[in-house]
């Protein structure tokens, strides 16, 4: 934590030095206090929290859909060969297509606004969830299944009490990656497809008015929310489960 | 009537290289509360035979009867302990692991926790009831595995080289502990090992198996009083006798 702070402070100092050097126009490269002012103003008048809330709600909604579809499907793929044979080629073909490449297509299909943004988030989050759940089920130690069935577990009990917890390190990694991909995709989708609300839209819109301070303030909010989710939500989920069980090693830092 | 009857059991695999005989016409009885060791070099079919008794593998010939009833698959009349420490569920505490079979039987939680704690006392691990497997040493994990296999009160305990991956000192402790557990519980034990001294220390009777194809070569009763002294002349005589039976086949192979 302290080392991370040192890195961030040094990076900020370098930026501040360049911004104050006078080589670049202040309107394009605002100083940190100016960015801070834009941030505080945006936070106090409620505009940035509002935009952040609508971005976050798109992410959570789209990611929720991706989990509802990707998690069971990935688990079924790991468990049943015919399902794997059917869906794996489909996933392999669709996965390499960047989610942002779909934005114009989705705009044609769903119009500007929430539906397109949520669709893009869903697309971005689906594959990490699906493939991690699939790998997770395949990584379950066969000895656990043997021990479980020797102790009287039927198929259903094996599924809930052995396969799901056994696959949990991968499932949590899947959630983590899905959120990260979704968070990256939503900002891009909002730039192209959102009207009026969302942090991506704020940045894109601020460009028209040359408000670099507001753009950087929005970027800071995007980074902060991503960081908080990563550390607080997924970090604590991992600490209370798979790290506690010794199924993954704790990251240092 | 013997507790377990092994009658002409054979297992033939079909492989790309042709038919391979894993076990050929194995026949012997195991009495109620007897401690029987299956001893032989790798490839002799001892583990395969144990897996057939456990119900994980179906024999291609002959049959196994337990308490007069033919074995058709897994059953809660048998508990099994494997060699690999990873057999425990890492996401469950020692107590949770031991309680698994009772949970599958539908025993209410307070009751199964009480029974599981008793089983942990039997292997002297009650202080570690709430520890996760990754915090336990290899020997402790195997003790949890023994308690887990006994918790739902099977009449037969099957053990597949459970101490082979432990260091020699820990192994001695574990053998003493297992002899005590066996005396206290009166289970019928079928114990697979390639360690002759271990077989002489633990067994009432040793079934010697030879490889290629896996066959029962002979049976050697161990008529030594317990607790046994591994340095006594009688103990060493029994060891020599077993080694002689095993040596014959090494010379033949």
Q: Helix (H, G, I), strand (E, B), or coil: what is residue A122?
A: helix
Q: Answer yes or no: do B82 and A147 touch at CB < 8 A.
A: yes
Closest CA of chain A from B54, distance in Å: 8
- pLDDT confidence tier of residue A63, bands split at 50, 70 and 90: very high
Half-sphere exposure at residue A61, Cβ-oriented, CA atoms within 13 angstroms: 14
Instruction: List B164's β-bridge partners, or say none.
Output: none
pLDDT beyond 90 at A118: yes
Determine, for residues B152 and A151 on separate chains, whether the beta-carbon distance falls below 8 Å. yes
CB nearest to B134's CB, from A154, A166, A246:
A246
CB contact under 8 A, B76 and A165: no
pLDDT tier at B251, thresholds 50, 70, 90? low
CA–CA separation, B189 vs B175, rounded Å? 13
pLDDT at A207: 86
pLDDT of residue B42: 87
Q: Helix, strand, coil: what percent of chain A each, to 5?
A: 80, 0, 20
Q: What percent of chain A has pLDDT over 90?
A: 76
Torsion of CA B186, B189, B195, B198, to 10 degrees: 0
pLDDT for A54 equals: 93
Q: What CA–CA distance (Å, rounded) separates A212 from A206?
A: 7
Task: Tell me the C-alpha distance between B109 and B132, whole Å.
Answer: 19
For residue B129, give the 3-state DSSP assignment.
Answer: coil
Distance CA B25, CA B217 (A): 11
Q: Mutating which of A142, A151, A249 best tests the B interface, going by the most B Cβ atoms within 10 A? A: A151
* Number of C-beta neighbours around residue B236 at 10 A: 13
| Nearest CA-CA distance, residue B104 and chain A, Å | 6
**Four-way CATH pick for B30-59+73-77+155-253: 3.40.50.150, 3.40.50.2300, 3.40.1360.10, 3.40.50.300:** 3.40.50.300
Q: Is B82's CB within 8 Å of A161's CB?
A: no
Say how far apart CA B46 and CA B209 lie, in whole Å. 7
Whether the pLDDT of residue A65 is over 70: the answer is yes
Average pLDDT, chain A: 91
Task: Give residue-wise pLDDT tens across range B9-41.
Answer: 999 988 888 888 889 889 999 999 999 999 999
Cβ of A246 within 8 Å of Cβ of B84? The answer is no
Residue B252 has a pLDDT of 54
Q: State yes or no: pLDDT of A97 exceeds 60.
A: yes
Give the span between the Cα atoms of A213 and A36, in whole angstroms.
Answer: 8
ipTM of the complex: 0.91
pTM: 0.86
The whole-angstrom separation of Cα A57 and Cα A78 is: 31
Would the CB atoms of A143 and B86 count as touching at under 8 Å? yes
Provide φ and ψ at B189, rounded to 5°.
-115, 130
- CA–CA min distance A52, chain B (Å): 36
d(CA A107, CA B62): 68
- Say if residues A196 and A187 touch (Cβ distance below 8 Å): no
What's B194's DSSP letter?
S
Of residues B204, B218, B213, the one with CA closest to residue B246: B218
* Residues of A with Cβ-Cβ distance to B100 under 8 angstroms: 148, 151, 153, 161
Task: Report the half-sphere exposure of B245 (CA within 13 A, side-chain side).
Answer: 22
Residue A189 has pLDDT above 50, yes or no: yes
Contact status, residue A84 vs residue A134, Cβ threshold 8 Å: yes
pLDDT above 90 as % of chain B? 86
Q: What six digits make up the tokens of A173? A: 């990694």
Nearest residue on chain B to A158, judged by CA atoms?
B104
Residue reference for tokens 């698994």: B100
How close, in Å, is residue B55 to chain A by CA atoms? 9
pLDDT, tens digit (0-9, with 9 covering 90-100), for B131-183: 999 999 999 999 999 999 999 999 999 999 999 999 999 999 999 999 999 99
Q: Cα angle vertex B190, ends B188, B196, to 5°? A: 130
Q: What is the pLDDT of residue A26?
A: 82
- Find the chain A residues whose C-beta atoms sit closer than 8 A to any C-beta of B: 141, 143-144, 146-154, 157, 161-162, 165-166, 168, 241-242, 244-247
> Which residue among B89, B90, B105 sits closest to A152, beta carbon to beta carbon?
B105
> Strand pairing partners for B156?
B78, B188
Q: Where are the beta strands (DSSP E) in A70-199?
A: none
Q: Residue A141: its chain B contacts at CB < 8 A?
A: 86
pLDDT the model gives residue B110? 96
How far CA B15 is from CA of A81, B59, B60, B61, in Å, comes to: 22, 16, 14, 18
Q: Sort out which chain A residues have CB atoms less than 8 A from B105's CB and list them.
A: 152
Q: Give bridge partners of residue B29 from the DSSP assignment.
A: B5
| Class for the domain spanning A32-240 | mainly alpha
Interatomic CA distance for residues B51 and B218, integer angstroms: 20
What are B82-124's pLDDT values in tens digits?
Answer: 999 999 999 999 999 999 999 999 999 999 999 999 999 999 9
Q: Which residue has the tokens 């960047």?
A: A98
CA distance B236 to B200: 9
Q: pLDDT digit string (tens) for A164-188?
A: 999 999 999 999 999 999 999 999 9
Q: Which residues of A touch B74 (CB under 8 A)?
A: 149-150, 152
Separation CA B150–CA B162 (nearest Å):
14
**Quick count: other Cβ atoms within 10 Å of Cβ B197?**
18
B198 pLDDT above the threshold of 50: yes
pLDDT grade, residue A253 (50/70/90)?
very low
CA-to-CA distance for B60 and A7, rounded, in angstroms? 67
Contact A152 B78 (CB under 8 A): no
Interface of B to A at Cβ within 8 Å reads 54, 56, 74, 76, 78-80, 82, 84, 86-91, 100-101, 103-105, 132-135, 148-149, 152
Whether pLDDT at A90 is above 90: yes
The model's pLDDT over B211-232, given as tens digits with 9 standing for 90+, comes to: 888 889 999 999 999 999 999 9
Residue A194: phi and psi, rounded to 5, are: -85, 150
Pairing of strands B156-160, B18-30: unpaired
Sheet of B18-30: strand order equals B18-30, B4-15, B61-66, B69-70
CATH 3.40.50.300 domain range(s) in chain B? 30-59+73-77+155-253
Residue B15: its pLDDT value, please? 84
List b or e across B163-190, with b for residues whose CB sees 16 or more CB atoms inside 10 angstroms. beebeeebbbebbebbbebbeeeebbbb
- Quick check: B74 and A149 CB within 8 A? yes
* Length in residues, chain A: 253
Q: What are the extents of the domains in chain A?
A: 32-240
> Band of the pLDDT at A4, cuts 50, 70, 90?
confident
Q: How far, in Å, CA of B107 to CA of B122, rounded? A: 20
d(CA B45, CA A113): 67
Q: What is the mean pLDDT of chain B?
A: 93
**Best mean pLDDT range from A2-6, A202-206, B18-22, B177-181:** B177-181
pLDDT tens per residue, range A11-35: 999 999 999 988 888 888 899 999 9
Separation between Cα atoms, residue B144 and residue B216, nearest integer Å:
32
The candidate with the shortest Cα–Cα distance to A165, out of A94, A75, A52, A99, is: A75
């Amino acid at each position: 934590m302290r080392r991370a702070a040192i890195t961030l402070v040094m990076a900020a100092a370098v930026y501040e030095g360049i911004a104050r050097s006078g080589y670049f126009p202040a309107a394009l490269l605002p100083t940190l206090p100016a960015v801070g002012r834009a941030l505080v103003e945006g936070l106090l008048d409620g505009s940035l929290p509002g935009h952040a809330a609508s971005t976050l709600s798109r992410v959570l909604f789209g990611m929720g859909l991706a989990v509802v579809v990707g998690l069971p499907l990935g688990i079924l793929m790991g468990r049943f060969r015919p399902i794997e044979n059917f869906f794996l080629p489909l996933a392999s073909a669709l996965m390499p297509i960047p989610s942002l490449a779909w934005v114009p297509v989705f705009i044609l299909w769903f119009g500007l606004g929430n539906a397109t943004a949520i669709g893009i988030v869903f697309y971005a989050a689906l594959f990490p969830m699906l493939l991690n759940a699939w790998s997770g089920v395949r990584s379950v130690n066969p000895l656990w299944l043997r021990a479980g069935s020797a102790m009287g577990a039927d198929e259903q009990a094996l599924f809930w009490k052995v396969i799901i917890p056994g696959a949990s390190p991968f499932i949590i990694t899947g959630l983590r990656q899905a959120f990260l991909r979704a968070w990256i995709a939503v900002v891009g989708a909002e730039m192209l497809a959102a009207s009026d609300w969302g942090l991506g839209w704020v940045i894109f819109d601020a460009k028209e008015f040359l408000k670099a301070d507001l753009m950087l303030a929005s970027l800071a909010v995007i980074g902060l929310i991503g960081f908080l989710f990563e550390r607080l939500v997924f970090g604590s989920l991992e600490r209370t489960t798979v790290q506690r069980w010794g199924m993954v090693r704790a990251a240092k830092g | 009537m013997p507790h377990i009857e092994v009658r002409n059991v054979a297992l033939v695999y079909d492989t790309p290289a042709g038919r391979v005989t894993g076990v050929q016409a194995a026949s012997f009885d195991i009495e109620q509360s007897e401690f029987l060791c299956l001893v032989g070099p790798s490839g002799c079919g001892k583990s395969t035979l144990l897996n057939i008794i456990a119900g994980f593998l179906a024999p291609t010939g002959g049959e196994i009867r337990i308490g007069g009833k033919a074995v058709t698959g897994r059953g809660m009349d048998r508990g099994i302990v494997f060699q690999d420490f990873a057999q425990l569920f890492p996401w469950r505490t020692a107590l949770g692991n031991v309680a698994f079979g009772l949970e599958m039987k539908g025993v209410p939680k307070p009751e199964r926790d009480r029974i599981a704690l008793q089983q942990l006392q039997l292997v002297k691990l009650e202080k570690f009831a709430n520890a996760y497997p990754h915090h336990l040493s290899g020997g402790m994990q195997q003790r949890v595995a023994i308690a887990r296999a006994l918790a739902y009160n099977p009449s037969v305990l099957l053990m597949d080289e459970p101490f082979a991956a432990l260091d020699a000192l820990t192994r001695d402790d574990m053998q003493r502990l297992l002899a005590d557990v066996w005396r206290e519980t009166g289970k019928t034990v079928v114990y697979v090992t390639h360690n002759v001294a271990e077989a002489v220390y633990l067994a009432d009777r040793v079934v010697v198996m030879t490889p290629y194809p896996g066959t029962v070569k002979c049976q050697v009763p161990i008529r030594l009083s317990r607790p046994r002294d591994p340095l006594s002349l009688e103990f060493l005589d029994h060891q020599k006798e077993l080694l002689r039976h095993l040596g014959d086949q090494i010379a033949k192979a």
